[in-house]
Structure 1
Amino acid sequence: MNRARVSLSSALTRSARGAGVVLIAVTAFIASAGVAHADTTLAQAAASLRSEDPVFVAPEADPTMTSAEADQLRARIRDSRHPFFVAVLPASALVKNDASATLQALHAAVGLAGTYAVVVGPSFRGGDTKVSVSDLATAAFRAHSSEGVFAVLDSFVVEASARLSGTIPAAGSAGSTSDSGSGSTVALLAGVVVVGGGGLLLYRRAKRKVAGQTAAVRATVDEDVTSYGEVVAAINVDDPRLDEAGRADAQRALDAYESAKASADQMARPEDAQRVTTALEDGRYALACVQARIAGDAVPDRRPPCFVDPRHGPSTEDVQWAPDGGAPRPVPVCAACSTTLASGQMPDAREVTVGGARVPYWQGGRAYAPYAGGYYAASGMNMMSMLFMGSMLGGMFSGPQYGGGMGGAGESGGGGFSGGDFGGGGDFGGGGGDFGGGDF
C-alpha cells in the first residue's frame, strides 16, 4: 500500500453493469446481511454496557435468562465492586462464527478494562483484561450448564470476583504448599524476589509502551481538534440567514469544539481519544447543518463520517469497495472523495503514526480503536462495522496493542487480553464452553 494513499484500488464500483455484476452484488448483500445484524447487536450491547448497566440481554437471545435473573446478576456485580461486562446475545451475533472472537469484539467495542462474559447462542466465554479467569469460566460452565445461563454467569461472577479480590489464587499458582524447611523457604523467597523483579520489569515496559501509544494518539487527536477548530472559527451564531434552529446548530458546533479540546487536554490513555472524536463527529454534523441552512439547502441526513478521512465530516453516499481478494462492501464517503474516486484517482487517507511510520488510521492497531470508535459509534456504521472492514484490510485493531488490550481473534491457549505485557493476562483458549447437547 502506498502510505500516502488509500488502497481502495480497482475494486471500487459505482453501479452494477450487467446481470453478472448484479448477481455478485446481490450475493455480497446477502453475505453481509448477517454481518450487519451482528454489528447492530454488538453495538447495542456495547452502548448499554458503557452506560453503567453491567448486564445486557438481547431480546432474541436463546438460551437466555429472565429479567429477574438479570437483576440478580446486576446486584451480584454491584456487590463485587469490580467492573463486569456481561452480554447474552443471539447466535446471529457471532463474529467469524467464533465465540472467543465475539468476546474480543465486544471488548473492543466497549473499550473499557474489566471482566467480560458473553453467552452468544449456545456458547459461553469469559475473560479479564488483567487477570486470567478462563479456568473459572470453564469451571462455571461445567458445574452449572445444566442449570441454565444465569447459573453459569452467576458462578463465574462470584469466582472471578474472588480472584480479583485475591481470595482465590490465579490459575497455575501455588495456592497452598507445605513447609519443607528453612532452606526451601529461603529458596522460595528468593524465587519470589526474582519473579517480582521480572514482573516489575514487564510492568514498566508495558507502562512505557502505553505512554508511547498515548502520545501518538494524542498527537493525532490534537491534529483533528485543530483542523475542526479552524473551520468552526468562521461560524457566526448571529448570521441573519440562520433561524433559531440554525443558531442552535451553530452553538452546538462551537460547544463540540470546546468539549473536544477539553477532552484532548485530559487524555491519559488511548481509550480517552473516544471522547474527543465523539465530540468532533457531533460537531462536524452540526457544522454541516449550519452550512446547509446558510446556503438555503435542506439539512443533511445524519450519516457516518467519511471513511477515507473522518475529518471530512458526514458522508454523502456509499460506494462499493472490495480490497484485494476480499468481498465487496459499501463504505461511506464524502462528496469530495466520491468525485475523486469517480475520476479514477485515490483520495488521501487519514494517516496516523505507528512505530514511527505513517499508516491509514484503520491500520493503526488497537491503540487507535477508541479514536475510530468515537467517530462512528453514533452512526449505523458502528465499531463492529469498522472492525469487520479493518479485518478485510489486513488487520485494523490487530496491530500493536495498548496495555490491557485484547489478543487477536483466533488465538487459543495463550491468547490473552494483555497480549503478554503483564506476564500472562486473561486468556480465552479453553475459557467457557458450549451450551447445548440437551443441557437446556
Structure 2
Amino acid sequence: MSAARLLAALLATLAFVPALPAQADTPELPDRIAAAWRTDHVSVDERLQPTMPASELARIRTAIRSAGLPVYVALVPQSPYLRASGYDLPTLLHARIGEPGVYIVAVVYDNYWSDNAALFRPAGLRGRDLYSVRADDKQDSDIIDERPAPQIVRTIQQASTAYDGRPLPPVPHGDLDPQHSDGGLSVTDKENRSAYVGIGVGAVLGFALVLFLGLRRRRPGKQTNLHRSDDPPIEAWYVELKADDKIKQAERALARLDKRTNKTTQQLDQRDDAYRRLDAARTLRADQPEDLLAAAGALVLARQAERVASGAELQPPCFFDPLHNPGTTQVGWEDEVEVPACQNCANVLRRGRTPIGLRVWSKAGLLGHDRKKVPYWTLAPEDSPMVATGFGALSDDLPERIAVR
C-alpha cells in the first residue's frame, strides 16, 4: 500500500473517533433522572441504592398512588451540580418529561434531607400554588429530616391540596420532630409522664421556696452573683435545628421568587444575592454539620437569604450574638469601632457592661486539655470566617469567604 493510500485510510478512520467519547460520556443529572422516570416514577441515585431502606421507597410509592395526579420523585446525594443548579432541577426535568404533575427532587446533605418541588398543571386548569399551601401548612417545619419519606409524602399531600383542594391530613406522630410530638405515647405512658411532671413541678416549687427564704436571710444590699456567664454554651444541636428550618424557609421564599414572571432588574439582583447566601449556608451545614460556629453562620445566612428573596431590606446580625434579633442599632465597641447590635445587647452596653454574647468552648490549661467558655469574638479570626467577619456584622463578605475555603 502506498504512503498516500495509507494516509487516506488513517484520516478516514480518525473522522469517526471524536464521536465515540461523546457517546460514552455520563449523561448529566437531569438526563439520568429523566431517563429513569420513563420506566419508574421513583428514581434513586445509584450511590444511594445500597443504603436506601425498602420501607422508605414503599411508603413514597403508596403516597404517589393516592395523590390523584402524576408524581415524579428523585432521590440524589448533594453534588457540585446541585449546589449550582439545584433549584432549577424540577423545571429542567419537567422540560424533559413534558407531562403535568408534581416534580420532587430530594437531596441528602450528609445526615439530613431537603426536597425541592414544583407543581405543573395542565393548560387552563386553575388551583392553588404549591408554595402557598406549604406556607400555610403549620406542621411543615416540624417534620423530621433524617429520612426522605416524611418530607416527600408531605410534599405530595401538599401538591394534592394545591391541585384539587382536598384538605391536608395531619402529619403522623412518627414524622414529627420529638420537640413537637408526644411520639405516639400510650395512655399508660402519658399517665406516667403526667405523674413525673407533677413531681417535677412540686420539686421546683419547693426549691423556689427554699431559695426565697434563703435570700431573705441575707443582709440588705448584698446581691447574689447569679450571672448568665455561668451557664454552659448553647448546645450546637439546637442551633443546627434552627439553621435547617431557616434554610427550608429561605428555599421556599426563593422558589416563590423564581415563579414570578417578568422579574425586574432589582428582583433578579435580589434572587442572585439570596442564592449566594443560601448556597453558603448549605455549604456550612454540609461541611461542618456539628460545629456551633458553622451552624450559627448558616442560620444568619439563611435568615438573610429569606429576607432578600422576600424583598425585605437586608439586616446585619447582632455582632455579640448572631442568634439574637438582627443588629438594628450601631454601638461603640473596642478601638472606637461601631458594630450592629440587637436592642437587648445595645441596652447592656449603655449600662457600661459587655453583653455575654455567643459563648463557645475553647481549649485551656497548660497542655490544652481543659476547656473554658469564651465569647466567640475572642477566638483567632484566621481560624473561622464567622469570627473574622462577626458573622457578617463587621463585613458583608461572609458568603465569599465560605466559598473559597
TM-score normalised per structure 1 = 0.30
Larger Rg belongs to: 2
TM-score normalised per structure 2 = 0.32
* Greater length-normalized contact order (CA 8 Å, ≥ 6 residues apart): 1
